Chains A and B, each alone.
Chain A
Amino acid sequence: METTRQVFDGINVVEFAAIAAGPVIGKHLADHGARVVHVESYERPDGFRQNYPPYKDNKPGLNRSGAFGICNNNKYGVTINLKAKEGVDLAKELIQWADIVIENFTPGTLKKLGLGYEEMKEVNPNIILLSTCNQGQTGPHALHPGFGSHLSSLCGFTYMTGYPDRFPCILYGPYVDHIGVGYGVIAAVAALEHRRRTGEGQFIDLAQYEAGVQFMIPALLEYSINHRVIERDGNRHSSAAPHNTYPCKGDDRWCVISVFNDEEWKALCKCMGRDELISDPRFKTIPARKEHEDEVDQEVGKWTSRLTAEEVFKKLQDNGVKAGIVQTIEDLFADPQLKHRGFWAPVDHPEVGRCHAEGPPFAFSKTPFKIDRPAPMIGEHNELVFKTFLPAGKKAQRRD
């Protein structure tokens, strides 16, 4: 039987990483064919296995974590006690086997364990080491520990989210970690391409903080050039109106509508059955609508509240108006478009049962992603990895 080649067929990855920022990089590589070994220890399991709900049926347990599950599908799980010398030796065997090592400890931690980049190069001269952490490997704040929720605030995202007369709203979860993941995948592939061309590995220092700053550039320019701090402004937009969330039929149901020009406004008025608003001087142009924005919102809200969010979405989109449903996570699981893309990939976990991993946001025409295994239970693949993968070395490289 012919099997399709995946992008990372033949690539071995070892993770000394936990929570989201490191492991989700490995997850993306695993979805595309890399063999990824996630290293933990019974002494220190991945932080997402404990202290972080959700657990299946709300019963805590090392193999019941949803957060760990969503970050680690299609990986192999092993346990190594890195505090013991034999553990470090075993880790070195894995490093020898690997093409890429991903780690997200506090800077210097691996070195203290005898597993710094120099030590890795001794056993595997062409190794790629991707170190991702909060503040970066160097600089005065390098050692400061941080969680993603805090870092989203230090990056400036929290301050810019919410209504002007309320406290700023925190972004969900470790937002910046996931920006770091994107830049981490980019870095890993760039390093693989460099190795393909030159045969050489390298060291990569990725600060999640700096990755987050990349998503802030327009705000930085606005401040340094026009001396304005961008203030949170609900859902309003300086050059679009209407541009907001509107109530719909049902309990806490909302839609969004964004109108960037007068053509779209005309189309919206027609959909609302309110042709007379088109010639209303208060609403004729974007500046006029911006000036009477509360009234615009009121008129639009009157119409949307009689319909379901799905009805507003379909009606407006079919007529060329940029509209959407504020989809809940429940909606996402039923979303026909995401379904069409195979975004929610079902996997069966021995303790959790049927659950879902998330597919990539891009689809390749020739090298499709494959999600066919749940996140590993703690130490689940010790025997497979240590007795089969390691002795076979870099050969036998097609993923099982």
Chain B
Amino acid sequence: MEEKIKLLQDCRVLDFTNETGFLCGKILGDLGADVIKVEKPGGDESRKLGSFYQDIPDPEKNLYWFSYNHNKRGITLNIETEAGKEILLKLVEKTDIFLETFPPGYLKKLGLDYAALSKINPQLIMTSITPFGQSGPYKDYKGSDLVLTAMSGFMSVLGDADKPPVRPTLPQSYVWIGMHAAEGTLMAYYHRGMTGEGQHVDVSGQAGVTWALSIAPSFYDLNRELPTRAGSFITGRSITGAILRAVYPCKDGYLAYIIYGGPAGIRTNKRLVEWMDSKGMAPDYLKNKDWSKFDIATVTQEEIDQLEQAYMKFFKTVTKEEFFKYVLENDMLGYPLATAKELLEDEQLKARGLWQEVEHEELGTTITYPAFSTKFSSIACGFWRRAPLIGEHNEEVYGEIGLNNSDILRLKKANVI
């Protein structure tokens, strides 16, 4: 059997990102790159965000840090000192990819922007991730998950119609940005392989999250219609303007079920009615319904309301697990509203080998993580190491550029590393 290889094993990445860019470096690490996460001495501010291992507020126990910094080595470096700058320039000589999330202009002030670094290493790829981009009227504005969810338009289609718009409670914008940054970075890396040419990649968080809007912009673009938030309903499926319920309460939680047309949608509705009928809960109008004439694109709100009323009553008698089992067995569209608990128990994810037990020897325990999700026939993707502790690989990495232990001690005392 052919052995899979680590695709990026000869690729060195310096990762100066904060929480808005962690995922980018992680993905490169998943693909085998030697990613070195650089923090300021004492540790990155982002280690204070979110929740902690066993609720102990310790920067070495931050769960967001754990989530998106594995497959990276970790060093500390203060690039605002002369000695720190020198070390950085030395590291850059042997770096393929430089990832950063500083405000636009910051690196230039230090003489460390793409123009300067590419003189030392013309093949360097620099990926800069900021809320709005490196240039333009908003370039100096700050972002947070809430700000990016709002400015990207994503929030305008989330939430109940009679309440203020909402963001998903688990931040999503940073992972969108990190993922997109990985796409752009890999494209630039491939281009470099083809031509020998490095370049600067300018990632905009706002533009990145806009992709989470899916096809919504086309409603405005074509017809000046404005998709807006509709709570647990979906809009835009019928040209009559009918809105369709997507979330139903069930016995022990919620289900996602949507009345669709097309072959799969009609099959789903028919089988649901059969199921209801087997429990004596299908009204006559449902049993007698001619689904072959059902057209979701022209259906009226009245017809939808009638259907949903009967479905609502039935779903309240069903558990999430019963529903999941039934849709799987009967080739129907619909799923329960899962939480982390159900994800970890899911048969499919288990059978696919998604979960990996990773040792955290510093905590004396193992933690379950999802592996890199894409399965390649020839590229090895793995979970090579847990997220680094603060300065965990200082000796190792600085040793590689010729610094000895007494240098490292001296630099530490001077607060350079």
Contact = CB atoms under 8 A, between A and B. Distances in A.
B87 interface: no
Interface stretch (A107-115, A189-197, A272-280): A189-197
Interface string A17-28: 000100000001
A166 interface: yes
Interface string B158-196: 111001111111101001110111111011111101110
Given A230-B170, A333-B220, A213 B343 contact: yes
Contact of B158 (A47, A161, A207): A161
Interface stretch (A85-93, A353-361, A386-394): A353-361
B373 to A, nearest CB: 4
A220 B374 contact: no
Contact of A256 (B150, B253, B328): B150
A76 interface: no
B279 interface: no
Interface stretch (B77-85, B131-139, B302-310, B390-398): B131-139
A186 to B, nearest CB: 6
Interface string A121-157: 0000000000000011111111011111111111111
7 contacts: A157-B170, A172-B234, A193-B7, A337-B206, A340-B133, A360-B207, A363-B201
A70 B169 contact: no
B293 interface: no
A348 interface: no
A286 to B, nearest CB: 11
B368 A52 contact: no
Interface string B229-258: 101111011110000001101000111101
B258 A149 contact: yes
A335 B156 CA distance: 15
B186 A341 contact: no
A7 B296 contact: no
Interface string B100-120: 000000000000001000000
A97 interface: no
Interface in B310-367: 327-328, 331, 333-344, 347-349, 351-352, 354, 367
Contact of A53 (B167, B237, B335, B374): B237
B168 A358 contact: no
A332 interface: yes
A54 B212 CA distance: 18
B163 A166 contact: yes
B89 interface: no
B232 to A, nearest CB: 4
Given A173-B215, A210-B370, A324 B151 contact: yes
Nearest to B214: A173
Contacts of B64: 218
A327 interface: yes
Contacts of A234: 164, 166, 169
Contact of B51 (A141, A151, A172, A238): A238
A235 B374 CA distance: 32
B88 interface: no
Nearest to A147: B333
Given A229-B341, A320-B142, A239 B49 contact: yes
A200 interface: yes
A175 B182 CA distance: 19
B146 interface: yes
B165 A254 contact: yes
A62 interface: no
A204 B183 contact: no
Q: What 6 A-B pairs are tightest by C-beta distance, nearest first?
A: A66-B218, A173-B214, A362-B184, A340-B136, A153-B256, A210-B373
Given A191-B379, A209-B349, A340 B207 contact: no
Interface string B54-81: 1100000001101110000000000000
A169 B203 contact: no
A190 B379 contact: yes
Nearest to B381: A190
Contacts of A20: 214-215
Contacts of A231: 169
B236 A53 contact: yes
Contacts of B7: 190, 193-194
B166 A161 contact: yes
A42 interface: no
Given A223-B344, A224-B368, A332-B210, A364 B179 contact: no
Nearest to A162: B166
A147 to B, nearest CB: 6
B344 A220 contact: yes
Nearest to B232: A167
B414 interface: no
A317 interface: yes
A150 B297 contact: no
A63 interface: no
A105 interface: no
A239 B147 CA distance: 16
